[in-house]
Structure 1
């Protein structure tokens, strides 16, 4: 299944939530000097032109990151939103927002020289783009391979610190059980891994059930944590638009983290309501924020 191209969706409301959280995770990981390995299972092309024919076809950035920037002009953003927007500005040094960074480019900007970056992508054109963007980074490896197999290839890492980012397209229902299986395998191999799973809020039972199934899985695997301690988790979801007349469409999206930074819950307490207001395409935007600290 190679039909999905993120170029059509770059900078949409789902990217805003996912990348704001990713920035928070990586900045937290950078507070300790020991290197960590970042594994991105579905890396895409790495970076996207918002002026391209693909991006303009659906105009999703206009309803995503551009709404955030317009809202910022009227309402001071929380600190976590500011950090995310500063990164976008650094990615566009000429001003404006002509390009949008995918998670591999966000990683390239934030990782230190000694932090390995493992990028997985199956689409042949996107793999080529990914390799071009990352060619100057010594510890980046681009793999044209199934990203769901990445945990067994790289965990546990030599430095005993790792972040796993998993955001498949979910074009088919088969992606949902694959995500769950990959999370289980990751925690069995290296329970200390910080895991970030993104998922779409769409009219599918599998999407609605995924957060609950992830919670159940980490409850069952909790004793695999260091010293037999339970594993912490955080779930955040942002709903900003209504489904269409047939009940379809991306109403919002969510992120589920295992072993989240202890600072993330506080950051999202202020960021989620601000983003809900900024991105709302309905009179009743909403958000969910739930977590278990350890």
Structure 2
């Protein structure tokens, strides 16, 4: 649905959780010399200005990444995430926010590859333009497809090096995205059983958002991990995002311990009322 622009939400509490998990997964993958691919099914524009009109419409980053900015008591999981954010704000002011493609580019080695899908014509155009400013190496490592990521990922699995991460991060404005996210993982593990799949999902007052993680838990996979953060009670109106979650198939074995240490701290920091809480569950292989 072309009405969605991630710039409205860049750096919010959902991005903090999602991108800290992403950074940890990529660091873990870099422990082995073997190359890998990252496939991002809903890439967005890649890099966002927090002083833009879009970002400032609701200033969601103020209750997200801005609460971590400048602190010196971050747990390692979020210290690493903020290290990557600071690289895009070298003047000491929080003005730029790196989305998942940019955080991935920070981690990739010369032999690794990034495949980005973005259907929104304006977002895809900005994404390509932003990549061009990154230089030759980023352009050589990255391919952008202005196509449906749910469908396009099928042709890329398994990736040639037989190592990879698939990030599935739709807007869920269309309720069919919940079903399609589940199907993408289900079909993906048939093609590429050893890959890591990371699904972001919103916590909203919609039955599908509650059903999705439970449906993912029932997949026939070796191991999974779910982490979710609710920052406030659901709104009386029934609208709005009160939290989000990440569900990972074949997660790094190090991730659960890192989240167990970090999530109580993050929940306290990002809480917007006394109903804030987190959930951390896993199935070990």
Give TM-score, length-normalised by structure 1. 0.93
Aligned positions of 1:28-107 closer than 5 A: 28-69=28-69, 72=71, 76-107=73-104
Shift of 1:95: 1.7
Q: Secondary structure at the match of 2:257?
A: helix
CA contact (8 A) 1:39 1:150 kept: no
Pairing 1:5–2:2 present: no
Indicate the SS of the match to 2:172. coil
Residues 20-74 of structure 1: CA deviation (Å, up to 9, x unaligned): 000000000001011101000000000100000000100100011112226x35x
Contact 1:240–1:281, Cα closer than 8 Å, also in 2: yes
Instruction: Report whether the alignment pairs 1:246 with 2:237.
Output: yes
Partner residue of 2:116 out of 119, 125, 132: 119
Alpha-carbon displacement from aligned partner over 1:81-135 (angstroms, at most 9, x marks no partner): 1000111111212222110000000011111111110000011111111112223
The CA deviation at 1:245 is 2.3
Structure 1: runs of 5+ lacking an equivalent? 223-230
Q: Deviations over 1:128-155 (max 9, x none)?
A: 1111222321120011000001331211
- Give the match for residue 107 of structure 2: 110
Cα deviation, residue 278, structure 1 = 0.8
User: Counterpart of 2:51 in 1: which secondary structure?
Assistant: coil
For structure 2, list consecutive stretches of 5 or more residues without a partner in the other structure.
none
Measure how far apart 1:208 and its partner are: 0.3
Name 2:180's counterpart in structure 1: 178
Q: For residue 274 of structure 2, what is the aligned residue in structure 1?
A: 283
How many residues were matched structurally? 280
Q: Which runs of structure 2 are paired with 1:161-240 in the superposition (5 Å)?
A: 161-216=163-218, 218-219=219-220, 222=221, 231-240=222-231
SS in structure 2 opposite 1:62? Answer: helix
2-structure distance, mates of 1:241, 1:50: 23
**CA RMSD, Structure 1 to Structure 2 (Å):** 1.0
Find the partner of 2:247 among 243, 250, 256. 256
What is the TM-score when the length of structure 2 is the normalising length? 0.96
Deviation at 1:157, TM superposition (A): 1.1
Runs of 4+ in 1 over 3 A off after TM superposition: none
